[in-house]
């Protein structure tokens, strides 16, 4: 069974007004996802952050800000964009991986909360800014995720300070009088298994007992969403009973600590609000395969090529057509350039508009100019509005070449 495309009439109008390839973000879905997570966390002393690496489109960020969320930023540009858009700096956690001196000074000067995941960086921070506040990223040595490339904890992971090195964290913070305000972990992305997530959180909670001045524990993002019609995403009833309830218990049994719990999802908030629209240019039948070639590709949505990720492909122009089997491929000169392989899609013809679903997270934010092709356009559909807003246009070959020549 195919997932129905949300608001398919609106999407077809957008394709005919603004052309393709185009990413579309539906504010209604974004708001509903944020509200849904908030509802599951009621009763926790809570701060929600948004991991803007998933999607930093300005209208998306503005909606996130209206919801009172803070930001997980991982580069100086992400930090600066969040500040420019009005997110309060005391709600921005700066978690640059392999942080450089320049990034450290930049984030300090901007007033963000630094999140340090290497002992050597903690030492450098202490030496440069003795007595300062900091958050420390731990590696609880338990990881999870939809693909090995997105597991960000465990013995093979480069992220965080291994939890067995806590004594060294204490020693460095004592030496430089650092105030460890927060502990952080993020064990991976696209997690569907609440037991593993809880195991990692418990490691953090135990570790937190040796820190006296802690104000928050950030348990990361990583909540999985349903990409296939028959999938459920992270089971929210289990999330409530196996994660939220014991977190509440922990807080209640350590009242003197006055801890807040922070979460920082990206995908959970934005994946389902986004759709990539593309036009079928070529139908090519061989003895083995029918290829449907579209005017987009792995440069716009790299997840299928990079992780074998599944995204539903829906034919908006022929929604009730008979299902036929296709390889839906892009226009990039690589054989990993596909959106779907051996997939049943409503009969496709040249000129049809297809929607690639659940592409609001790690779609445009991972897009690139490979083959000197333009990025897609981006359109935002505000709640209750019939006036979609084009907030990023595609570049013409002339613009791309002019930019390239200016760089040299």
Complex with ligand LLP: residue 313 or 348, whichever CB lies closer: 313
Distance CA(202)–CA(200), nearest Å, equals 5
Complex with ligand LLP: residue 172 or 225, whichever CB lies closer: 225
Least distance (Å) between residue 362 CB and ligand LLP: 3
Least distance (Å) between residue 152 CB and ligand LLP: 6
Complex with ligand LLP: residue 153 or 280, whichever CB lies closer: 153
Complex with ligand LLP: residue 302 or 328, whichever CB lies closer: 302
How many residues are recorded in the chain? 408
Complex with ligand LLP: residue 307 or 391, whichever CB lies closer: 307
Dihedral of alpha carbons 84, 184, 139, 266, sign: negative
Cβ atoms 356, 339 nearer than 8 A: yes
Kindly list the residues in this chain that would bind ligand LLP in the complex (CB under 6 A): 51, 53-54, 72, 95, 150, 152, 186, 189-190, 220-223, 264-268, 303, 307, 361-362
Least distance (Å) between residue 302 CB and ligand LLP: 8
Q: b/e per residue, 303-325, with b = 16+ CB within 10 A?
A: bbbebebbbbbbbbbbeeeeeee
Can 135 be counted among the known catalytic residues?
A: no
Cβ atoms 282, 291 nearer than 8 A: yes
Least distance (Å) between residue 389 CB and ligand LLP: 25
Complex with ligand LLP: residue 263 or 326, whichever CB lies closer: 263
Distance CA(267)–CA(273), nearest Å, equals 10
Gap between the terminal Cα atoms of the chain: 51
Residue closest to 216 by CA, chosen among 185, 242, 170: 185
The tokens for 90 are 């005391």
Complex with ligand LLP: residue 73 or 277, whichever CB lies closer: 73
Residue closest to 185 by CA, chosen among 248, 138, 150: 138
Cβ atoms 23, 359 nearer than 8 A: yes
Q: Tell me the sheet residues that pair with 280.
A: 294
Q: Tell me the sheet residues that pair with 326.
A: 343
* DSSP β-ladder status, 338-346 and 260-263: unpaired
Least distance (Å) between residue 373 CB and ligand LLP: 20
Contacts (Cβ under 8 Å, ≥6 apart) of 28: 273, 381, 383, 384
* Three-state DSSP state, 291: strand
Q: Which of 1, 333, 405, 407 is catalytic?
A: 333
Dihedral of alpha carbons 207, 48, 144, 100, sign: negative
Least distance (Å) between residue 336 CB and ligand LLP: 15
Q: Which residue bears the tokens 């540009």?
A: 77
The tokens for 127 are 């030496």
* Three-state DSSP state, 73: strand
Least distance (Å) between residue 246 CB and ligand LLP: 20
Catalytic residues: 333
């Amino acid at each position: 069974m195919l997932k129905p495309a949300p608001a398919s009439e609106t999407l077809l109008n957008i394709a005919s007004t603004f052309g393709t390839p185009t990413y579309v973000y539906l504010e209604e879905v974004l708001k509903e996802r944020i509200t849904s997570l908030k509802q599951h966390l009621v009763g926790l002393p809570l701060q929600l952050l948004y991991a803007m690496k998933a999607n930093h489109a300005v209208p998306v960020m503005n909606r996130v800000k209206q919801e009172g969320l803070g930001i997980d930023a991982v580069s100086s540009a992400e930090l600066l964009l969040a500040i420019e858009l009005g997110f309060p700096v005391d709600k921005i956690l700066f978690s640059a991986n392999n942080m450089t001196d320049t990034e450290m000074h930049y984030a300090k000067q901007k007033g963000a909360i630094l999140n340090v995941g290497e002992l050597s960086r903690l030492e450098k921070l202490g030496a440069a800014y003795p007595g300062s506040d900091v958050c420390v990223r731990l590696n609880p040595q338990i990881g999870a995720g939809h693909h090995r490339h997105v597991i960000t904890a465990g013995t093979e992971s480069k992220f965080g300070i291994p939890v067995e090195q806590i004594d060294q964290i204490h020693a460095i913070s004592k030496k430089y009088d650092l105030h460890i305000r927060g502990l952080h972990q993020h064990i991976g992305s696209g997690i569907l298994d609440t037991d593993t997530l809880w195991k990692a959180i418990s490691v953090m909670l135990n570790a937190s007992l040796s820190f006296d001045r802690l104000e928050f524990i950030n348990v990361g993002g990583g909540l999985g969403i349903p990409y296939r019609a028959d999938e459920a995403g992270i089971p929210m009833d289990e999330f409530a009973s196996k994660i939220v309830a014991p977190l509440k218990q922990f807080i209640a049994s350590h009242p003197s600590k006055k801890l807040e719990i922070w979460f920082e999802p990206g995908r959970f908030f934005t994946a389902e609000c986004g759709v990539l629209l593309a036009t079928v240019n070529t139908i090519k039948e061989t003895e083995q395969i029918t290829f449907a070639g579209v005017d987009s590709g792995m440069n716009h949505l790299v997840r299928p090529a990079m992780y074998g990720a599944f995204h539903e492909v829906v034919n908006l122009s022929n929604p009730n057509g008979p299902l036929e089997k296709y390889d839906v491929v892009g226009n990039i000169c690589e054989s990993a350039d596909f959106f779907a392989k051996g997939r049943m899609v409503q009969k496709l013809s040249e000129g049809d508009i297809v929607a690639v679903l659940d592409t609001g997270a790690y779609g445009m934010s991972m897009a690139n100019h490979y083959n000197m092709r333009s990025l897609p356009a981006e359109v935002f559909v505000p709640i209750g509005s019939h006036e979609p807003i084009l907030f990023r246009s595609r570049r013409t070959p002339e613009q791309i070449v002019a930019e390239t020549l200016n760089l040299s």
